[in-house]
Amino acid sequence: MFKKLQNFFSEKVSTPSKLLQGDFLIADKDLHTITEDLIEVVKKDPDTVELALALGNLFRAQGDLERAIRVRYTLLARPNLPKKLQTRAWLELGKDFQKSGFFDRATDAFENAVKVSGMLPEIMLEMASLSAKNKDYENAANFYEKLNFPSLAAHYLIRSAQLVAIPSKTEKYIKQALNVYPNSVEAWLEKVIFYFEQKKEKKVIEIFDKALKSIPEHLIFAFLEGFYGYAFYRDCYSFTGEAVVENPFFQIPVEIFSCIQENYPENDVLILYAAIGFHVFKDVEKSENLITELLNRNEHFFPAHLFFLRFFQKDLLENNHLVYFLENVAAIYRFECSQCGFKTNRLFFHCPCCSAWHSIHYRVEYLSG
């Protein structure tokens, strides 16, 4: 077991993609036993640097950050410690401080690692993460771009755009994000909202069309969800009340929603969003025809049934029992992380549960769990 741990913690991570997979995880029930055994091994053989590093990582995994930090400093105090091991000790120390919330000390530790071995990818990755936690989004974007993670770089450029109050700077960050990653759903969403706020109708239509052609198909629903949620208040998943639109800045031509229909005729989720768009902007007949065609093609598409009942079968909603049932069904989470199964009704680009990027997908079968 010790040899296995030693091999793991001494493994050289050569590509940034491996680095995004996170720290080595051990089942909680085994963590205490392994930690105690490692303490005994390190006590008996204090020259076992690799196991000492592993021990520090186990302390961190248990939340015992004070002991983890002490292990690192003990290692760094050793004379003639090879540069490679010095770098790893500083890097792990930075992670310890970062988890403890001591971001300044974490920065110092990472900078010491750079002084020893230069700006290695694994150090740069930790510094990118730390910059993001410090809300230094522009610096985080720079690190991720150098690491060849353009989608993450674009994400943090957009976070920078959202922090500034000067339109010219906002526009600059959006342009930079799309230059870094032309397929960025966050960047296209921020761009269409930027011009929507300025009431530039033609520009919004132009950007909308470009976004639909640039964003990967499996994420277009996220763009539409974000845009719809910002552009108007909709109540498509509720069975009480009448108002769907509240003071949109301007009437968006229904040609936009026809574009969704024409480009993605077989994508049930996008057709649903097109039907919502038609209905919101008063082409009710087109909306009903589209949703009816969708249900004829896929009678098991639960969200489409909810939308159809809400807007086109209002006579049925006089039954209070049915309304109660449908209201509770409508409250079921629509979005899910494809990596960890986290469910929510809120749009996300970075899973708040497992930290996976752009793993959101639309749950087409609500009753599957």
Q: What DSSP line would sit under 185-253, residue for residue?
A: HHHHHHHHHHHHHTT-HHHHHHHHHHHHHHS-HHHHHHHHHHHHHHHS---TT-SS--------SS---
Structure tokens given for 277: 């768009």
The string of pLDDT tens digits covering residues 325-352 is 767 766 678 899 999 999 988 899 999 9
The string of pLDDT tens digits covering residues 164-190 is 989 999 999 999 999 999 999 999 999
| Confidence category of residue 278, pLDDT binned at 50, 70, 90 | confident
Residue 16 to residue 33: CA distance in whole angstroms: 32
Average pLDDT over residues 206-228: 92
- Give me Rg for the CA atoms of the chain: 26
pLDDT over 70 at 369, yes or no? no
Residue found by looking up tokens 């009816």 in the block: 292
Q: Are 272 and 291 in contact (CB under 8 A)?
A: yes
pLDDT reported for residue 299: 87
Residue 204 to residue 140: CA distance in whole angstroms: 29
pLDDT over 50 at 8, yes or no? no
| Confidence category of residue 59, pLDDT binned at 50, 70, 90 | confident
The string of pLDDT tens digits covering residues 222-266 is 999 998 888 764 444 343 334 344 445 555 667 778 888 888 999
* Cβ neighbours, 10 Å, residue 119: 12
pLDDT over 60 at 309, yes or no? yes
Residue 233 to residue 254: CA distance in whole angstroms: 17
pLDDT reported for residue 79: 85
Residue 138 to residue 128: CA distance in whole angstroms: 10
Domain 2-127 shares a fold with domain 135-222? yes
CATH of domain 135-222: 1.25.40.10
Measured in degrees and rounded to the nearest 5, phi and psi for residue 253 equal -60, 140
pLDDT reported for residue 15: 37
Global pTM reads 0.79
pLDDT reported for residue 277: 84
Cα angle vertex 86, ends 83, 88, to 5°? Answer: 110
Q: Are 156 and 144 in contact (CB under 8 A)?
A: yes
Residue 105 to residue 115: CA distance in whole angstroms: 15
pLDDT reported for residue 39: 62
Average pLDDT over residues 191-199: 88
Average pLDDT over residues 48-76: 86
CA distances from 157 to 56, 132, 297 (A): 35, 11, 41
Residue spans of the domains in the chain: they are 2-127, 135-222
Lowest mean pLDDT among 83-97, 231-245, 298-312: 231-245
The string of pLDDT tens digits covering residues 103-158 is 999 999 999 999 999 999 999 999 999 999 999 999 999 999 999 999 999 999 99
3-state secondary structure of 266: coil
pLDDT reported for residue 37: 65
| Confidence category of residue 23, pLDDT binned at 50, 70, 90 | very low
Residues 6+ apart with CB under 8 A from 82: none
Q: Give me the helices (H) in the chain, please.
A: 2-10, 16-19, 28-44, 49-62, 65-76, 83-100, 103-117, 121-133, 137-146, 150-163, 167-180, 185-197, 201-214, 217-231, 255-263, 268-280, 284-297, 302-312, 320-330
| Confidence category of residue 199, pLDDT binned at 50, 70, 90 | confident
Class assignment of domain 2-127?
A: mainly alpha
pLDDT over 70 at 304, yes or no? yes
The string of pLDDT tens digits covering residues 25-56 is 444 445 566 666 666 655 555 567 787 888 88
Average pLDDT over residues 53-74: 88
